[in-house]
Every structure is written in structure tokens, then in C-alpha cells.
Amino acid sequence: MDIAEQIYQEAKRLPEPLSREVLDFIGYLEAKHGLSDTPIEDLKKAQETTLGPIWDTPED
């Protein structure tokens, strides 16, 4: 089994919110290493589900 298949098998076991975090992290790694042509706004939108509660606080 190659590494991509191992990642897939592990990700399938996660609950939906954690799966979204994994997907966000993959997007981050792609952007960090220049592997993605996704504009930064698309990355922000992808992170909105996970980070929305952190961003939308009374202190903001």
C-alpha cells in the first residue's frame, strides 16, 4: 500500500469535521510548497468551516 492509500484509509475513519481539517491541511501544504494554483481566497474559504468559530469572536 502506498502512502496516498494509507492517508486515504485513515481519513475515511475520521468524523466529518476532522476530515475537513485534514483537507484544509492538505491545501495548506500545497500552497506552502507551490503545488497548487488555487488563489488565496479559495484557501480562506476552505478554512472557513474549521476556523470560522475562532475568527468570529466578540473580541474581533
pLDDT tens digits, one per residue of 15-58? 998 988 998 898 888 888 888 765 666 767 777 777 777 666 66
pTM equals: 0.56
Residue 9 confidence class, pLDDT cut points 50, 70, 90: very high
Which residue would you say has higher pLDDT here, 42 or 8? 8
Residue 19 near residue 10, CB atoms below 8 Å: no
Find the length of the chain. 60
- For 56, how many CA atoms within 13 A lie in the half-sphere containing its CB? 7
